Chain A
């Protein structure tokens, strides 16, 4: 096994040498540790999860459309109105807009974990600018280089068609009927830690990678980019910048990353933006608890993939329960991502538990809590041997005219024994994920 790890290290160096050696600290994510032991999921299990993810994404999009439209779900009091309308992720500027196919969250990265029975549950939905998909593809490339023999005897479903699927989805939301709409990937630039991925996807789709300063919104509310052929109208923007930076006319005035007037153009329907501004309203750890209700409400179906049980501290009963059992729970701030501010009860000191309890008691609406079943383990190659490490799984779901779910996804793994934190920014690594066809 150690030989395989060395081979993988070498391949990483060969494939990405410039990112690790000459990084200047700007591409830290590229050096994300890779574990050579693939994680295996039987295709029969995966099919059900895949259906569940498609169902969930549809319901989330119905919800976002509803929130910025008729607000039926709020009027029917299924979800407390103040929870939605008071969220910092709710954007009044999006009220009354109907994107094509009523799709808002075009690219979702949904984090899954297995519970104690081995059943996949959704840990959170990432609907703003989820990243990591390039690692999913690169990890497969690495495994093919390091363990080519394994591919002879297994039928492993491929993952490398993602850029093509993304392109197809982006075409389907273009406001034009032209066969090849002008699509761009909007990046905040080389200093962003996911810049590698932005460039990767732009290259994979054969479209321009642009920055906000390349875009101009004219008085006709159409978006143009300056090319060597002159100005070219842009139909679809796959944005990899947070929405508060998209348009200094509407959101943060000090933003130099976006382009003034983008929101005008989008509201007029002259340009599609993926993910749509405002989609983050459904990506909130408090709203998360209501997704199963959304599925029943909008789709009249039972949820195929369940949530992890979640206590909303804004509810006094739940809050009491959380405060009394804080040492066994995982406590998360509602509006953070990247694993920041997460408190893991069983792994923390009494003093730390006390500190977090005080925070929760002071601002209960800012916190949710979940039982610590959250992460299953898989064999992982440690410096000495194979050992169990906690992991999660992030599949990618695309929704335009159709819904598409990746075969597997990005498996993130905690590299420290016992650690539950898998985020790359906090010492996590990743594995290739195989969806293996078991019936012949």
Chain B
């Protein structure tokens, strides 16, 4: 398989996952603010912080308003953090490697693009915004399902899976990092709404019902973080992502260095104790984890995409 094609597929998957995850994140935030009393809700800027884009935002906008954040993260065609941007990038990547995937995949990604373009200017009301986010998530899932049932399990599929899992792990880590920061900084001041906030974080990674089944109905900090990091059965947990990454890496040629990186992440997660949820320690842990994910990404690029 050509390196260029492998790289395109890897990024196709990363951008698609990014679009879907960003949509989930914003949707859950929209739900959250309807649930909690005015004045106690976190600022819309939490969303911008999760995507690590505060500087970009402040460059572009004076006001920290709901609508501006929406533009910045959903409908803008030029902002690098927006869902629309990610969808366009995904399509650009697929466009030049179309023959590597089933034909319907192209149609699905096109529909996503058309959706994002057409709705960019009509989705300002809250209900329209939520409808758009729902559709982005549905279409992304339709595509994932399509690939799962029709794509051959070859290297093309492998590179897509790697891209998807690295992106997902990264986003899960970010959400917990920033979300927990917001919560823990409150120092119990709003203890009444805490379960709702933790629940919203879980929902942002679609983990609410899975959590209930594994951990029970009460959402608390320690079990929640442990679940999101280490639950082997939950497909959006960090541990699950790393296990899939390891499995796919082993099936690729020249995988030694990349696999070492993945093993490193796995060990970190295994060593993680959920008593470590103290704010600073948690932040440090996630920081290191993200660095390790970046190292893995670099190693993948070095092992398979770079010219020798």
Residues of A within 8 A of B (CB): 17-18, 21-22, 189-190, 199, 202-203, 208-211, 213-214, 216, 225-231
Contacts and interface: CB of A to CB of B under 8 A. Distances in A.
Contacts of B253: 228-230
Contact of B106 (A18, A203, A229): A18
24 contacts: A17-B107, A18-B103, A18-B106, A18-B110, A21-B110, A22-B107, A189-B96, A190-B95, A190-B96, A199-B98, A203-B99, A214-B2, A214-B3, A216-B307, A225-B2, A226-B4, A226-B307, A228-B3, A228-B6, A228-B159, A228-B304, A229-B253, A230-B253, A230-B308
Interface string B75-119: 000000000000000000001101100010011001000000000
Nearest to B159: A228
A38 B136 CA distance: 44
B99 to A, nearest CB: 4
A231 B254 CA distance: 13
B3 A227 contact: yes
A261 to B, nearest CB: 15
Contacts of A21: 110
A231 B308 contact: yes
Nearest to B7: A228
Contacts of B4: 211, 213-214, 226
Contacts of B155: 228
B2 A227 contact: yes
A213 B103 CA distance: 25
Contacts of A17: 107
Interface in B1-36: 1-6
B252 interface: yes
Interface in B114-149: none
Given A17-B107, A18-B103, A22-B110, A229 B95 contact: no
Contacts of B307: 216, 226
A138 to B, nearest CB: 13
A226 B308 CA distance: 8
Contacts of A209: 99
Interface in B224-267: 252-254
B75 to A, nearest CB: 21
Contacts of A199: 98-99
Tier of interface size on chain B: 20 to 34
Q: Which of B98, B99, B107, B308 has its CB near the most chain A CB atoms (within 10 A)?
A: B99
Interface of B: 1-6, 95-96, 98-99, 103, 106-107, 110, 155, 159, 252-254, 304, 307-308
A227 B1 contact: yes
Nearest to A202: B99
Contacts of B308: 226, 230-231
Nearest to A216: B307
B102 to A, nearest CB: 11
A199 B254 CA distance: 28
Contacts of A229: 1, 253-254
Contacts of A202: 99
A226 B2 contact: yes
A203 B2 CA distance: 14
Contacts of A22: 106-107, 110
A229 B252 CA distance: 9
A213 B98 CA distance: 18
A210 B96 CA distance: 10
Given A199-B98, A199-B99, 17 more contacts: A22-B107, A190-B96, A202-B99, A208-B5, A210-B2, A213-B4, A214-B3, A226-B2, A226-B307, A227-B3, A228-B3, A228-B304, A229-B253, A229-B254, A230-B254, A230-B308, A231-B308
Contacts of B6: 228
A210 B110 CA distance: 23
Nearest to B5: A208
B143 to A, nearest CB: 14
Contacts of A210: 2
B206 to A, nearest CB: 30
B106 A208 contact: no
A226 B305 CA distance: 8
B1 A228 contact: yes
B93 to A, nearest CB: 12
B107 A18 contact: yes
A22 B111 CA distance: 9
Q: Closest 3 A-B residue pairs measured CB to CB?
A: A199-B99, A228-B304, A226-B3
Nearest to B98: A199
A190 B253 CA distance: 29
Contacts of B103: 18
A382 B304 CA distance: 54
Nearest to A211: B4
A73 to B, nearest CB: 42
Of residues A190, A210, A226, which shows the largest number of chain B Cβ atoms within 10 Å of its Cβ? A226
A229 B106 CA distance: 27
Looking at A190, A199, A225, A228, the one whose CB has the most chain B CB atoms below 10 A away is A228
Contacts of A214: 2-4
Contacts of A225: 2
A199 B103 CA distance: 12
B6 to A, nearest CB: 5
B88 to A, nearest CB: 13
A17 B105 CA distance: 12
Contacts of A228: 1-3, 6, 155, 159, 252-254, 304
Please indicate which of the listed interface residues A190, A202, A227 has the most CB atoms of chain B within 10 Å of its own CB: A227
B95 to A, nearest CB: 6
B2 A208 contact: yes
A211 B97 CA distance: 11
Nearest to B155: A228
Contacts of A226: 2-4, 307-308
B249 to A, nearest CB: 12
A364 B5 CA distance: 49
Contacts of B96: 189-190
B33 to A, nearest CB: 37
B298 to A, nearest CB: 16
A158 to B, nearest CB: 23
A28 to B, nearest CB: 16
B103 to A, nearest CB: 7
A269 B201 CA distance: 63
A17 B106 CA distance: 10
Nearest to B110: A22
Contacts of B110: 18, 21-22
A203 B156 CA distance: 14
